[in-house]
Structure formats: C-alpha cells, structure tokens
Structure 1
C-alpha cells in the first residue's frame, strides 16, 4: 500500500493482480486497485474529477480523465473517509499508475489538487 497526503487529505492505494481475469498469452493483464480517501482537514470537501497517468511497460503512457470516481462525486466531511475499488487492463505484466483528484473545498469553493501516489501494477504470473 502506498499513501500520499495533500492539505490534510490522505490517499492510500493498494493494487492486486487478477490472474483469473487475465490472459498472459494474449497480452491481457487485469489489475484492481482499492483507494481510500480520508479527509483529515478541517473542511468539508467534494471530489469532482480525476486524472490518471497509466504506464504500461514498453509502451507510451496514457492519460485517463473524468468526473468523480466510479460514477460518484463523494462529499467528505472532516474525519470521514471514502473507499472504492476500480480496475485497469495492461498489455504487459508490469506497469504503474499515479494521478490527481480535483476536489473542491465546500466552504469557499477553492480547488484542491490532491496527489494520488504512484503505485506498481505487477502480475504474479509465475505462481499460477
């Protein structure tokens, strides 16, 4: 698990290789990642957008952007957390992801760019 804190907002990520959904012989590797966002700031915040940079070994990085996370734009009061699971497909058994959440501080409308820490996506294809 990796963690980053930006202005009191803690983002932790844990990635898992999904061998049962992957087909290494067809260059198809599936990963899931669980994200926990904890609001340790004194302000209520809302997650509005996300921007991911996905790197696949030997290939150009791709950028994925969009509103919210898994169809939600959660509001987190101080002391609260939001957790979700999402996934990523790679063409190789090794890659990495990192990015940012764009959040709004409800009290004054200030945008906070929160770091999503870089994490590794590594297939365990030797123990199947």
Structure 2
C-alpha cells in the first residue's frame, strides 16, 4: 500500500500584520494545518521540513522533530490540527514542505509532501 496517498494535508493562511524586529520589519502569517489519516493503519508524525520564500527569493528553511512540540499519532480516519506562523521580509511569499511519518503497523517511514501555498498581504493578489 502506498500509504502516503492516504494522508491528506490542508492549509489555511491568515495575514497577521507587520512585526518590528529592531530596524527590520517583517510580515507575519499564521498557517493552520489539518492532517487527516485516511489509511487503515495507525501512523505517527515524526518530523517536518519547511521551505519559506519571500518575493525577493530569500529562502528560510525550518526543520525539526514533530510539530508545535508534539509527535501526534493518528488512528484510521483521525485528524490533527495545529497553527503556527512564519515571517517574511516582503508582502508576498510562498511556503512548501514535507512531513515525515512512520506506519506503526509496518514500522515503515514515509514522507508526505505539502504543496506550495501563498503567503500574501491582503489586497496584494486582487
């Protein structure tokens, strides 16, 4: 079974405003992730990797264990939601990533890609 095909990831983005960090101003975005396990196996999220691009081409990579301090386990048809945030230097940018999982029944690791999504100041993409 190609288990990664049975894990669905959806993203919702919200613009939070401008953050001042010393003499640097950055645009803050919240992103809400929903992960749903449509497989027949129990799985666990182990790690994440994000690629965050601003419109000037600046890349920020973020990786680590779990998400928001957790490595959640998913039974079949179970989902998990979390919210995190990203900062970029420009009004618009993109994010994409991947989550690493383990199939707890077969002890097999697998990766699910998170398709690229847009981070944009309201009104920029009208």
TM-score by length of structure 1 reads 0.87
Q: How many Å separate the matches in 2 of 1:93 and 1:56? A: 8
Note the residue ranges of structure 1 that are not aligned, 5 or more in a row: none
Please give the per-residue CA displacement for 1:23-66, whole angstroms capped at 9, x wherever unaligned.
58953100000000000011100000000010011033121110
Q: Which runs of 4+ in 1 moved over 6 A?
A: none
Note the residue ranges of structure 2 that are not aligned, 5 or more in a row: none
Structure number with higher relative contact order (C-alpha < 8 Å, ≥ 6 residues apart): 1
For the pair 1:67 / 2:48, whether they are aligned, the reply is no
Residue correspondence of structure 1 range 44-55 to structure 2 within 5 A: 44-55=42-53
Deviation at 1:74, TM superposition (A): 0.2
Q: How many Å separate the matches in 1 of 2:76 and 2:45? A: 14
TM-score by length of structure 2 reads 0.88
More strand by share: 2
Q: How many Å separate the matches in 2 of 1:75 and 1:52? A: 21
1:58 maps to: 56
1:79 maps to: 77
Residue correspondence of structure 1 range 1-128 to structure 2 within 5 A: 6-19=4-17, 22-23=18-19, 27-124=25-122
Over aligned residues, Cα RMSD in angstroms? 2.0
Conserved? CA contact 1:40–1:78, under 8 Å: yes
Query: What is the aligned residue count?
Result: 120
Q: How many Å separate the matches in 2 of 1:73 and 1:39? A: 14
Partner of 1:58: helix, strand, or coil?
A: coil
